A and B are shown apart, each in its own frame.
Chain A
Amino acid sequence: EIVMTQSPATLSVSPGERATLSCRASQPVFTSLAWYQQRPGQAPRLLIYDSSTRATGIPARFSGSGSGTEFTLTISSLQSEDFAVYYCQQYHNWPPYTFGQGTRLEIK
């Protein structure tokens, strides 16, 4: 089973600033990586797939990068609605599909 590790656990950033979230895989997953956003009390929402492709309707301020074992989600100019928990998920080696433990993005 591939273990996904996200860092940091909590990230404090001011509105309008840039946020950079990291995700590491225990084995190479090539670019088989997705990012999800989960706002409080809501279901997860797909943001990025194939490491860098934005899902339908996702604003351009969200971008993903990386391959192999190291991945990054960048939010270029934080809006109030972006403060949430973010999860990465690998789908290269399945089952199981595995998620990181999440990064909580909070207002500084």
Chain B
Amino acid sequence: ELQLGESGGGLVQPGRSLRLSCEASGLNFDHYAMHWVRQAPGKGLEWVSGISSDGRTVAYADSVKGRFTISRDNAINSLSLQMDSLRIEDTAFYYCAKDRIRFLGPNWFDSWGQGTLVAVSS
């Protein structure tokens, strides 16, 4: 059974950093592009970042470009999101989501983790 499990969330002050992880099991992790999607409490979904299966292609939402870095380690079936210079508006549940194919492209997200909460507050 495919499982995605996020970790690393917590309370952090504005301007500080946090690193999220997503551990995958039950799939050939290196066969699929992966994404981070966030949801502010009580709000809708916002795509944050995506990475191809080999890690060579990445993409970011304008709202996080230059502050967040996505990466993956296929040897340990892990996806990461390094979040620097955090802002109050980055407060959200962060979900990792699996793409349907290897490449970033016109794709949907066919499996999601349960999310981890990041709260940015002074």
Contacts and interface: CB of A to CB of B under 8 A. Distances in A.
Interface of A: 32, 34, 36, 42-46, 49, 55, 87, 89, 91-92, 94-102
23 contacts: A32-B106, A34-B109, A36-B45, A44-B95, A46-B111, A55-B110, A87-B44, A87-B45, A89-B45, A91-B106, A91-B107, A92-B106, A94-B59, A94-B105, A95-B47, A95-B59, A95-B60, A96-B47, A96-B61, A97-B50, A99-B45, A102-B44, A102-B45
B50 A44 contact: no
Nearest to B60: A95
Given A44-B109, A94-B105, A95-B60, 15 more contacts: A43-B95, A44-B45, A44-B95, A46-B108, A46-B109, A46-B110, A46-B111, A55-B110, A87-B44, A91-B106, A95-B47, A95-B50, A97-B35, A102-B44, A102-B45
A96 B61 CA distance: 6
Contacts of B60: 95
Identify the interface centre among A34, A44, A98: most chain B CB within 10 Å of its CB: A44
Q: Is the interface of A mostly helix, strand, loop or mixed?
A: loop
How big is chain B's contact interface, by range? 20 to 34
A44 B104 CA distance: 20
Contacts of B108: 34, 46, 49, 89, 91
Nearest to A49: B108
A94 B110 contact: no
Contacts of A99: 44-47
